Amino acid sequence: MKYLIIGLGNPGDEYKNTRHNIGYTVLDNLVKKSGTSFSDKRYGFVANIKHRGKNLVLVKPTTFMNLSGKAVNYYMKKEKIPIEKTMIIVDDIALPFGSVRIRNKGGSAGHNGLEDIEYTLGSNVYNRLRFGIGNDFNKGNQVNYVLGEWTEDEKLLLAERIELAIEAILSFPVLGIERTMNFYNNK
């Protein structure tokens, strides 16, 4: 059985340590733990790992955030993985820093990456892990905040929260989305 895990972000060094790239960061940490690496493929960096008898295809789209649907659609078709076995990792300013919230459907909440995925797939029914980045910015400064790097205080807690996100991702193919939501949404 194969599962598709897509971490949203933007390619390029200028985005590497930004809040908006938490999807990339979570997958980078998961791949490092697994002892494998990403390969540069069409529309994304791709790695394959095994976890408890399940094959996970990990993708960091290189289509830039606003065109994430193109990579999601491409890899769902290429790998023949249905939407029910796909999970999107994304940043969320509506959640406190480090919060992990898993849902199997819902709106984009104005997130351009999720909006493009919904538009491309024609549905908002897909699994997503929202990683809270907080909203500690002044009015009109959202873009700078989201594309800004983590503060020193955030960096102190980031590894622990990324580890929680990785646990939730690895739970998804083993326990299913409902049990994963029940277990991780309140941690």
From the candidates 6, 19, 20, 115, which is the catalytic residue?
Answer: 20
The encoded tokens of residue 81 equal 């993985």
**CB 133, CB 158: distance < 8 Å:** no
Q: Rounded CA gap, 41 and 3, in Å?
A: 18
Is 131 in a helix, a strand, or coil? strand
Q: Rounded CA gap, 106 and 42, in Å?
A: 28
Q: For the chain, how many residues are written? A: 187
Angle between helices 22-34 and 152-175 (to 10 degrees): 70
Residues with Cβ within 8 Å of residue 6, at least 6 apart in sequence: 23, 58, 59, 60, 61, 68, 71, 72, 75, 86, 87, 88, 89
Active site residue 20: yes
Q: Could you give the residue numbers annotated as active site?
A: 20
